[in-house]
Homo-oligomer: A and B are copies of this chain.
Amino acid sequence: MKEQAREELDLQQFNIRTDLALEARELAKPDGGPIPGIHSEVTEDDGITITVLHVQNEQGSQAIGKIVGQYVTIEVPELRNGDTTLQDRVATQFAKHFESFLERLQINKMAKVLIVGLGNWNVTPDALGPIVVENVMVTRHFFELMPDQVAPGYRPVSAVAPGVLGITGIESSEIVRGIAEQSKPDLIIAIDALASKALERVNTTIQIADTGIHPGSGIGNKRKGLTKEILGVPVIAIGVPTVVYASTIVNNAFEMMKNHLEEQKGDTNQIFGLMNSIPENERLQLVKEVLGPVGHDLLVTPKEVDQFVEDIANIIASGLNAALHEAVDTDNVAAYTH
């Protein structure tokens, strides 16, 4: 309930659609200055930028419109190039950070895990979750059917893609709830495609959060959430932005042009006139008014979405296999995924 209110606040306040905490922080404080209740640390490693962002309290939550919790964002601008060595490095980093979530949440080595791939397999940019589910190692049935024969170093993992409301007629959160009540996992991992405010983050960014999935997030318009409150066990959310609003591209470009010209020439008032002094949310409103009616304000995705989504889904599946099973480590991670 409270979360829903806050999400709406978020949308009212910024009027910019993003599911990334990193971007919500950027919007709240474009100059990058400190925000009370928000702690963040950035590390870089040869093309991989990792931001650990902690929303520490209600004050921080209000400030950026995101729930209290830990958010790790892995940004890899070159990820779209299809370089398999880089993909392996990202999977390793993902596994490392995912393991730190397991530790903090005190998920022990044999705790049962249910992986939930949200989204619509018939809509390529929304198919991330289902593709991850097709590619992770599923082991729960071995523990159920022949517990004595399972090699050490594995835990019971199950995985489902519940589909979307338009395909099943049932909220995906209801489906997950029903399955969780039957299969009794100790942890749920929910994977979803997200919207970003910046085209360069689309299909190049992975967010991990210990907050679960909240209503209104994700590109499939989930109406109910997947959270510890609803499901009774911790929910780690993994998200990848795969789409961006055309209006956000335009608004973003405007901002970038301003900055670009400021660097070069100084007086942007002269160049941009009144547009320069319009607050960002009013400008975005203007952009939406203009684009909306004529069919311009769509969610868009890069032309190569099929390959991009497949690549990043494989990275996540490899990373999850390594993080969840001691016997699978970050060196042999790729061998367990196809």
Contact = CB atoms under 8 A, between A and B. Distances in A.
A300 B301 CA distance: 5
Contact of A170 (B122, B158, B165, B270): B158
B141 A169 contact: yes
Interface residues of A, number: 80
A179 B175 contact: yes
B168 A138 contact: yes
Say what secondary structure dominates the interface of chain A.
helix
Contacts of A141: 165-166, 169-171
B300 A302 contact: yes
Closest 10 CB pairs of A and B: A178-B178, A273-B273, A140-B169, A158-B169, A200-B295, A300-B300, A178-B182, A138-B169, A250-B253, A299-B303
30 contacts: A123-B306, A124-B306, A138-B166, A140-B169, A141-B165, A141-B169, A160-B163, A174-B179, A175-B178, A175-B182, A178-B179, A178-B180, A181-B181, A198-B296, A199-B296, A204-B295, A247-B253, A250-B250, A250-B254, A252-B296, A253-B287, A253-B291, A253-B296, A260-B289, A268-B273, A271-B274, A272-B273, A298-B302, A301-B301, A305-B305
Interface of A: 77, 80, 122-126, 134, 138-141, 156-163, 165-171, 174-175, 177-183, 198-200, 204, 219, 243, 246-247, 249-250, 252-254, 256-257, 260, 268-276, 286-287, 289-291, 294-296, 298-307, 338
